[in-house]
Structure 1
Amino acid sequence: MASTVEKKGQIHEEEAGTSDEGSFHDNTRLEQWIEKDGQQVLVSWTKAEEAAIVRKADFILLPVFCLMFTWMAIDRTNVSGVLTSTFLTDTGISKDQANVGVSLLWLGIVLLEIPANVILHRIGPHYWIPCQVILWGLIEVMQHFVNSAGGWYAARLFLGLAESGFIPGSLYTLSRWYTQDELARRTAIFFFGPSLSSSFGSLISAGALGLTGQGGLKGWQWIFIICGVCTMTAGVIAFCILPESPHKTNRLFGGLIPWRGWLSDREADVYVARILKADPAKGNHSTMHITWNDISSVVFDWRVWPYLIVCLSGLQSVGGLATWGAVIIESLGFTNVDANLLNAPAPIVAAFLGVALGWAADRYKRFGPLMIGVAIWTLIGLIALFVGCPSSLPKVRVVANCLEPPCWQPINVTWLSLSMKTPQKRAIAYAFYIGCSNLGGTYGSQVFRSSDAPLYRTAWTACISLGAVWLLVLIIQSTINYVSDRRFVRRLRDHPELESEALYTDSRGQKHRYYW
């Protein structure tokens, strides 16, 4: 945010009562001092006015981030459709070499994850993020020239390098536009498109494969071209719309073209005031300085690591299916087009369930129980994939594939970010978490080896083992957070000075230090 907070006097809230945790009736008036044009300004507004303004961000800002993330996910996973085509034969690449290329993409992302996030905070997300999207879209298009293993390795590595930092940078940017009570839901919506990406990617692949021969190109080449052009278009849209701050929504294309903007001056004042009232630490400028101490305080915080272990084990327990799902279905006797179509429905269900999880996390401030439920769901599906009777294997595999778990990563990454007390730590935590997520991609796709086809017994065993680790760590993590929070609540009664350590207040007015 461009504005900073200076509290002057008592903030008045004409409380007409509360309807649920942290919310007021629509006619409640709130007040907050903000800094504007070098002067302190007292902003007064109602909850009804605030809700209308937030809806503008929900319908303008949030969809742009969701669109960019969706095409990133499609660009990553469209290799599943490419591998059902003549790609391997045309390029002379083996299935295992294709796996290496997939791993190099994730490695490229990890290499620049934190540096890219630092750059974002130096020059601003309104410039960095759109340019980044346009760049990797161009690289995606260039992949249609691949004709050897070396070219495949280079293309995937550079694609990963170009994508570095996008997810944590976007999450951090959204965290500065929404309050803690709104973040889990919006993060789930941010991940909604990517959750559907396997479905979109499969449908795009099915259509592109039908273009084989058009323009002298193979179907897999059309997949890369279509996805790359759409990605660059999303980047241009973002460059047009993304503002530097609520007070600067009137600058199209990074300020090159002035217009009236999608937030009026009054609405921008209210938007900044509501954010600062919920979290004064967000009053720092959108570009800020991140030090080594900020990085080390997150990297060496033992409480951060359970989130990372959950990420590494949970995501990769099903990560291989994102790459090889359509191939596995094709190996059961389906055509490549039918395999892509059958691979499409499960992510749609998972995406909608993921949004429901985000709503529940915001509403009840409970993360552990939701995550544990998803981990159990995942294990059931993986076990079904492993023990399917050979005589009915095609039917069992396809049905089990539809047991894809709800999109839970937004819940976990929000759980982590809400535990960070400063914007700098929150930014690094996002980068560190997403870096670990992408690091998992380097081995997640490797579990499905050509020597293990078509039953993939070794692969399913590895996936089940990762799922079991995921569930165990979640149980331990939730228990530790619950016990630690109970102790904090008891100590707070005798030591009111600890109130500054609290992260949220429940519907009964009790302050808490840990989410569980």
Structure 2
Amino acid sequence: MVVNMHSRMSLQCGEYFRVLPLLVLGFATYQIDRTNISSALTGGFASDIGVNQNTINLGNQLMFLGVIVLEIPSNMVLQRVGPRRWISTQVFIFGIIATLQIFIRNRTGFLLTRAILGLAEAGYIPAAMYTLSTWYTKDELTKRIAIFFFGMFGGSAVAPLLGAGLLKLDGRGGMLGWQWIFLLEGCWSILVSIPLFTLLPEHTPQKAPTHAEEEGSKPSPQWNESHSTPLPLSTIYKTLTNYTKYPHFLATACVFSTWSPLTTYTPSIIMSLGFSRIDANALAAIGNLLTLPVILFFAWVSDRTRQRGLTVMFAIACYLIALVLLRCLQPNVGKWGRFGLWTTVNGLAVGYHPIHNAWIQVNCGSAGERSVIVMSATAGLMAGTQIFRHDDSEDGYPRGLLIMIILVLSGLVLTLVQSVIYRVLNRSKGSVPQEI
């Protein structure tokens, strides 16, 4: 009996350490397929299929709309079929769709493909975050979520580097550079679905009883609820009507919306400064790579101070300052000065997001509730696709940058309001303490 218990615990330990790396790998792949259009644009994708920037914005908007439409239904399916089959199937499907983008020839094909890609990607983030919440305790979950988002931002950093390399294949095999980007990166997603299907654990472990529990003493903290727990409509309704968390949702939508135009147009902006398309993609990766140490720094500040709300406000304020400097200084500096300003903005754009997300997660009442709140970030990304417009592009998007400044400032104020709400709730008699 003791041998069996040790064998079971050893097996569970191995599965425990497989979950997060596999989900991070899937997230990086997901993000590459979502954002590789930025590299395709520098390879002449828009002109080759006969569309303008407004159509590109609309296509990206349809993609995010597809994510929102199927996000909650996808997580309901997750409860029934389990993470291994559902997550791997999603990665396989959106890999196929991403690959088929090589056949896009006109506006209709582009819009239709982007919409279908969004529908296929809809469930990955909430499913992965929900799965994490069932494998890690509440104390462990915060850091795991921050690591999980490294997949997203790591994918954004790698995408332009891959684009720079793949654009060199332009003309090989009778294919254009942007077709090679869609083909090879889509095929990579299909390959990633294989280890997700074969290695991702199917079931949440049940924590073995401690000696104290066997003797009838007070039980130790339990793991979070199993993935088989259904996601009732009442949970969805309760989450959407919980006004005490509205500042969280609105702040996420406001600030995260500004990342959408950056991921799509930064390589094109850098190319407009006089760099070649390959150099522009390589240089665009610098800002995205800077995101990783920035996230680590703010995560360190959050852990040291135990003040997530204040850390989020600090990170957003740094991003706001960078945007203001870009808006004010870029008309008066040269090529490399503008590159430095745009790189700084990209590096600081999402430094707040993992900490903010973790702050939300630890104040949620259930894993089902956690899966619902992801929609606010996606809604922000969808709205943000329209911030940079063609008629504003010639001078470095001054109008778009002003809109971004207003949105980030609004997010900063909303984060302050949320922190105040938690403090008031903590002072209320009989309230459940909220982490601030």
Alignment TM-score, normalising by the size of structure 2: 0.90
1:290 is matched with which residue? 231
Match of 1:278 in 2: 221
CA contact (8 A) 1:184 1:359 kept: no
Residues 389 and 207 from structure 1, CA distance in 2 versus in 1: closer, same or farther, beyond 3 angstroms?
Answer: closer
Hey, what's the Cα distance between the residues in 1 that align with 2:249 and 2:323? 21
| Alignment of 1:326 onto 2:270 | no
Alignment partners' CA distance in 2, 1:220 and 1:159: 17
CA shift for structure 1 position 386: 0.6
Residue of structure 2 in register with 1:95 after alignment: 53
Hey, what does 2:434 align to over in structure 1?
A: 514
Task: Report the structure, 1 or 2, having the larger helix content.
Answer: 2
Aligned to 2:216: none
Q: Aligned partners of 2:377, 2:97: CA distance in 1, in Å?
A: 22
Note closer, same or farther for the CA distance 1:392–1:318 as it changes in structure 2 (3 Å cut).
same
Q: Deviations over 1:192-235 (max 9, x none)?
A: 12112222110110011000111110000011011111111111
Q: Which deviations, in whole Å up to 9, do the C-alpha atoms of 1:449-505 show, x marking residues without a partner?
A: 1111122111011010101101111111112212332x14xx4xxxxxx5xx64xxx
> Following the alignment from structure 1 to structure 2, what is the Cα–Cα distance between the partners of residues 401 and 184?
30
TM-score (norm 1): 0.77
Deviations 1:237-276 (A, max 9, x none): 10011112255xxxxxxxxxxxxxxxxxxx97379x9xx8
Cα gap change, 1:357/1:198 in structure 2, threshold over 3 Å: closer, same or farther? same
The answer to whether structure 1 residue 132 and structure 2 residue 71 are counterparts is no
User: Which is further off, 64-73 or 85-94?
Assistant: 85-94
- SS state at 2:208 partner: helix
Change (3 A) 1:215 1:328: same
Tell me the C-alpha RMSD between the 2 structures.
2.7
How far does residue 168 in structure 1 lie from its aligned partner after superposition?
Answer: 0.9
Q: Does the 8 Å CA contact 1:124/1:286 hold for their aligned counterparts? A: yes
Answer 1 or 2: which has greater strand percent. Answer: 1
Q: CA deviation at 1:57?
A: 5.5
Partners of 2:117 and 2:244 in 1: CA distance: 32
Residues 1:416 and 2:360 are matched in the alignment: yes
Residue 384 of structure 1 pairs with residue 328 of structure 2: no
SS in 2 for 1:447: coil
Q: Mind listing any 5+ residue stretches in structure 1 that lack a counterpart?
A: 1-35, 37-42, 45-49, 248-266, 492-497, 503-512
Instruction: Report which stretch shifted further, 172-181 or 405-414.
Output: 405-414
1:480 to 407, 413, 421: 421
Say which SS state the counterpart of residue 275 (structure 2) adopts: coil
Residue 407 of structure 1, aligned match among 332, 335, 351: 351
Distance verdict in 2 for CA 1:400–1:243, change over 3 Å: same
**How far apart, CA to CA, are the structure 2 residues paired with 1:216 and 1:239?**
34
Q: Is 1:430 aligned to residue 350 of structure 2?
A: no
CA distance in 1 between counterparts of 2:303 and 2:24 reads: 19
Deviation readout 1:365-416 (Å, 9 max, x if unpaired): 4210110011111111111211124342422321122322153322222222
2:384 maps to a residue whose letter is G
Q: Aligned pair 1:352/2:282, yes or no?
A: no
Mapped to 2, the partners of 1:302 and 1:80 lie a distance apart of: 37
Q: CA deviation at 1:357?
A: 3.3
Give, as a single letter, the amino acid of the residue that structure 2 aligns with 1:396.
G
What residue is the counterpart of 1:452 in the other structure? 392
- Give CA deviations for 1:69-107 in whole Å, capped at 9, x if unaligned: 001111111111011112122111112111111111111
- Higher mean alpha-carbon deviation, 63-72 vs 453-462, is at 453-462
Higher relative contact order (CA 8 A, sep 6+): 2
Cα shift readout 1:159-191 (whole Å, capped 9, x = no counterpart): 000011210110011011111111121111111
Pair member with larger Rg: 1
Residue number in structure 2 paired with 1:156: 114
CA distance in 2, matches of 1:445, 1:294: 30
- The equivalent of 2:182 in structure 1 is 224
Amino acid at match of 1:80: S
**Aligned residue identity for 1:398:** F
Gaps of 5+ in 2: 214-218
- Measured after TM superposition, the shift of residue 334 of structure 1 is 1.1
Query: What's the % identity of the aligned pairs?
Result: 30
Does the 8 A contact of 1:108 with 1:161 survive in 2? Answer: yes
